[in-house]
């Protein structure tokens, strides 16, 4: 079945273009969801950093920052969970991981080919 698929992709430019488009879509989704994970982690880190300022704001402005802070932290954690789940779904439901892995392997090979001979000889075989 897989062989038939691959043969058809090799022969049919239409399907090959479609496959390429969907692969790039999968890759984009994977990148976007991992970016979302990163940004939510960043937001939580920032909130953690802001915590000491909270008391200043509370005393100076008399604001109930604490409630707001807890709300933001909950939103951050919820967002983080959601984006981790989304990333997991993307990686499971699409061939994005193997696709991106393939790209990484290709890049690594390319970089290795362009290494100067002096460095190449230093690398263990
Ligand atoms: Zn076709």
Q: What is the pLDDT of residues 7-36, one digit of tens each?
A: 888 899 999 899 888 888 888 888 888 899
Mean pLDDT along residues 77-88: 89
φ, ψ (nearest 5 deg) of residue 64 = -90, 70
How far, in Å, is the centroid of ligand 1 from the Cα of 1? 15
* pLDDT of residue 125 exceeding 60: no
What span, in angstroms and rounded, lies between the C-alpha atoms of 25 and 94? 10
pTM score above 0.85 = no
Secondary structure of 29-57 in the HEC alphabet? HHHHHHHHHHHHHHHHHHHHHHHHHHHHH
Q: Is the CB of residue 36 less than 8 Å from the CB of residue 83?
A: yes
CA of 27 to the centre of ligand 1 (A): 22
CA of 24 to the centre of ligand 1 (A): 18
Residue with tokens 């960043």: 42
Q: Are the beta carbons of 84 and 90 closer than 8 angstroms?
A: no
Higher local confidence (pLDDT), 48 or 96: 48
Contact 45, 2 (CB under 8 A): no
pLDDT tier, 59 (very low <50, low <70, confident <90, very high otherwise): low
Q: How many residues does the chain have?
A: 125
Distance 74 CA to ligand 1 centre (A): 48
Residue 10 Cα to ligand 1 midpoint, Å, equals: 9
Q: What integer pLDDT is reported at residue 13 of this predicted model?
A: 92
């Amino acid at each position: 079945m897989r062989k038939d698929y691959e043969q058809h992709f090799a022969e049919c430019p239409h399907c090959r273009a479609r496959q390429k488009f969907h692969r790039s879509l999968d890759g984009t989704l994977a990148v976007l969801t991992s970016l979302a994970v990163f940004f939510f982690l960043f937001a939580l880190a920032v909130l953690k950093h802001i915590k000491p300022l909270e008391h200043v704001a509370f005393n100076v402005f008399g604001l109930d920052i604490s409630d707001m802070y807890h709300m933001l932290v909950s939103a951050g954690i919820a967002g983080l969970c959601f984006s981790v789940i989304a990333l997991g779904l993307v990686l499971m439901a699409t061939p994005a991981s193997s696709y991106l892995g393939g790209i990484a392997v290709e890049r690594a090979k390319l970089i290795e080919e362009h290494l100067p001979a002096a460095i190449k000889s230093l690398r263990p075989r």
